[in-house]
Amino acid sequence: MPELPEVEVVRKSLDKKIKQKKVKKVIIRNRNLRFKIPLNFESFLKNQKIIKVDRFSKYLILHISNKTYCLLHLGMSGTVHLVSNNDKSLITNTSFYSNPILPKKHNHVELIFEDFKLIYNDPRRFGFFQIIDNDFELKKRFSHLGPEPFSTKFNVRYILSFFKRKKKNIKNFLLDQYFVSGIGNIYASEILFLCKINPSKKVSKLKKKDCQKIINFSKKVLLHAIKKGGSTIRDFKSTSGKKGNFQNKFKVYERGGLKCKRAECEGTIKKKTISMRSTFYCNICQK
């Protein structure tokens, strides 16, 4: 599943391409995504201009010219493809698959612009589109989620208050979107390595300085990943077709059995399962 950096890379690519462009036509080939696409979706977007493409957590937010919004969540396997209207072969430079052919079978939604079309492709159909009528409803839509790591609300006071009388381990909390929005499995392992915190450590044992490290390194890791175009493990590419290369910078993720990258550490990267998710950490320097 794309995490915050990957979604931000897609947002930037889309914003450059569809910002201030008018949707000429909407084609729905399959309404049965994670949530059924509403029957008025075509009329909602047709002849409307995309003012800009925003993001919160792992959600893409299309600002529409009639002061409404369209949310897009990529789910597990959703990808966005930009294809020239004159391209009959459906060759695209970004695909869930290893070959460059965009398979029609999983093309569920198409937004037709003047010279190109935006295609939403999703083999597993866990992604979804949602219409949001106004600013109040948009704010309400995300009210149950925690702040993003970049937000000033994600501070030591907030973290200590949230952890109070909690018994879960820190890895689970970093994956908990009610606590902090946008961090997924890959980046949680990388953040905790830089913090020198064991992913199994109970949050009740964390000190104030540990919380500050989590804040600082969450921002550092995510910003670095965005700069590197995200992480391409199996299927992620931006809408420009470029693979992310942050995976080349991994300190622990998918490095099980290898030596710790800290020069002064003699530890080995271990792999364990926490809440059914693969977790990587150093057995020496992460306490």
Active site residue 277: yes
Active site residue 2: yes
User: Of residues 3, 6, 148, 190, which has the active-site annotation?
Assistant: 3
Contacts of 179 (CB under 8 A, 6+ apart): 146, 162, 173
Q: Are 156 and 147 in contact (CB under 8 A)?
A: no
Three-state DSSP class for residue 125:
coil
Active site residue 219: no
User: Of residues 24, 34, 196, 277, which has the active-site annotation?
Assistant: 277
- Tokens coding 197: 């915190």
Beta strand residue intervals within the chain, DSSP E: 21-22, 25-28, 49-56, 59-64, 69-73, 79-84, 107-112, 116-121, 128-132, 269-274, 277-282
Active site residue 3: yes
User: Of residues 11, 55, 58, 255, which has the active-site annotation?
Assistant: 58
The whole-angstrom separation of Cα 30 and Cα 120 is 11
Burial class of residue 109 (count of CB atoms within 10 Å of its CB; 0-12, 13-18, 19+): buried
User: Of residues 2, 5, 149, 199, which has the active-site annotation?
Assistant: 2
Q: Annotated active-site positions, please?
A: 2-3, 58, 277
